[in-house]
Amino acid sequence: MLSLDGSHGVVLAADLNVTHATVALCDLAGRPLAETVHELRLTDGPEPLLRWVEQRWRHLLDAAGVGADRVLGLGVGVPGPVDVATGRVVHHTPALPGWRDFPLRDHLERQFGVVCVVDNDANAMALGEYHAEQPAASPLLFVKVATGIGAGVVVDGHVLRGADGAEGDLGHVRIASAEHGPPCVCGARGCLAASASGRALARVLREQGEDVPDSRSVVELALTGHAEATRLVREAGLVVGDVLATAVSLLNPRVLALGGDLALAQDHFVSAVCERLYQRTQPQAARGLRVVASGLGHRAGVVGAARLALEEVLSAEAVDRALAGRRQPVP
Ligand SMILES: [Zn+2]
């Protein structure tokens, strides 16, 4: 039996969120060796954010005593539609002003001289969850509910990709009952994210005088037993479950993994999604379905981003190239 020497090199991973980011140094098995979480705002634009990511990565390498020559690849997850072939955010999204068409991948590859893979955060999380927690669960549907709402699907170990990088953008699915509700960040009314995202719940609670700046603080408040926060998180779970009933009927997944801030409120959010899902799905599609909170929790994003990098670093083509580079010339 052969197995990979996980300590031969490292990959650097970044999971960028609207209000915070996690950066990690991982071994070649995708296990985080060191990681740090920081608050930041993606609305500041790509250049300062990427400078920050580079600094944090170099800091992690220094602190772990790992030379930059041992970095074999980079993986980055961003909360928006990404064209993986070019490593760019491809559509305008209000959460990422100024990011569209910015050469994210090329910029980082220049800085570190190694391959970089950029993907949508929910795709990365789905891939990380599949390989680290649910290796036999195909198809796996991963849904992230945090500031926004997004989804990724993994079939037989591979991310299922759409035609234009917009797959899994569940947040802007229209809910008929919310037609006259508050406007979404995209400008439309009735989007799922306008009534069930962490951003939407935080806004409702702020209007009631609570100090909840973001998605994470909504969940923290619900976990203290706050009646209104609990009710809102549960209500969001029911609405998300409604939309996911369609996704489950379409895909017949083996596992639905829920991630992002709201999934931390398992008893309120995850159980509400489950409840609605089983009410609205045909027994045939739901019988073998397991609905779980992400086993990776807040690490799903970086573990997934590391996995993206590893798929590239350890691909047959990349290994062939590396071997060809080492081969001694024939005398
Ligand atoms: Zn919208």
| Positions of the chain with pLDDT lower than 70, given as ranges | 327-331
For residue 328, being part of any structural domain is answered with: no
CA 290 / ligand 1 centre spacing (Å) = 28
Number of H helices, E strands in the chain: 11, 12
Number of alpha carbons in the 13 Å side-chain half-sphere of residue 160: 16
CA of 250 to the centre of ligand 1 (A): 22
Tell me the residue range of the domain where 80 lies. Answer: 10-125+299-319
In the 3-class helix/strand/coil scheme, how is 260-287 assigned residue by residue? Answer: CHHHHCHHHHHHHHHHHHHHHCCHHHHC
Q: What residue type is assigned to position 200 of the chain?
A: A
The reply to whether 287 falls in a domain is: yes
> According to the model, what pLDDT value does residue 329 have?
59
pLDDT at residue 328, as a whole number = 61
In whole angstroms, give the CA distance from residue 91 to residue 82: 8
**Do 141 and 290 share a domain, yes or no?**
yes
Residues 120, 140: one domain?
A: no
Distance (Å) of CA 24 to CA 132, 155, 198, 269: 16, 26, 25, 28
Decide if 84 is inside a domain: yes
Q: Tell me: do 270 and 169 sit in the same domain.
A: yes
Ligand 1 mean position, distance from CA 252 (Å): 26
CATH number of the domain enclosing 92: 3.30.420.40
Residue 113 has φ and ψ, to the nearest 5°, of 70, 20
CA 75 to CA 30: how far, in whole Å? 11
pLDDT in tens, 61-119: 999 999 999 999 999 999 999 999 999 998 877 778 889 999 999 999 999 999 999 99
- Helix, strand, or coil (residue 122): helix
Same domain, 145 and 258: yes
Give the Å distance between the CA of 82 and the centre of ligand 1: 17
Q: Give pLDDT, residue 330.
A: 56
Q: Are residues 96 and 146 in the same domain?
A: no
Structural domain total, the chain: 2
For residues 179 and 306, state if they share a domain: no
The answer as to whether 275 is a domain residue is yes
Q: From ligand 1's centre to the CA of 194, what distance in Å?
A: 7
Supply the DSSP symbol for 177. Answer: G
158 and 252 in a single domain? The answer is: yes
pLDDT at residue 267, as a whole number: 86
How far apart are alpha carbons 100 and 116 in whole angstroms? 18
By DSSP bridging, strand 20-27 and strand 32-39 are antiparallel
Provide CB contacts within 8 A for 162, sequence distance 6+. 168
Ligand 1 mean position, distance from CA 184 (Å): 5
Q: Are 142 and 111 contained in the same domain?
A: no
Query: pLDDT value at position 300?
Result: 95
pLDDT of amino acid 283: 85
Q: What are phi and psi of 326, to 5 degrees?
A: -90, -20
Pair (259, 304) in one structural domain: no
The answer to whether residues 98 and 149 belong to one domain is no
Torsion sign over Cα 275, 222, 292, 122: positive
Same domain flag for 111 and 84: yes
215 and 309 both lie in a single domain: no
3-state secondary structure of 88: strand
CA–centroid distance, residue 172 to ligand 1 (Å): 4
329 assigned to some structural domain: no
Ligand 1 centroid from CA 171, angstroms = 6
Q: How many CB atoms lie within 10 A of CB 252?
A: 17
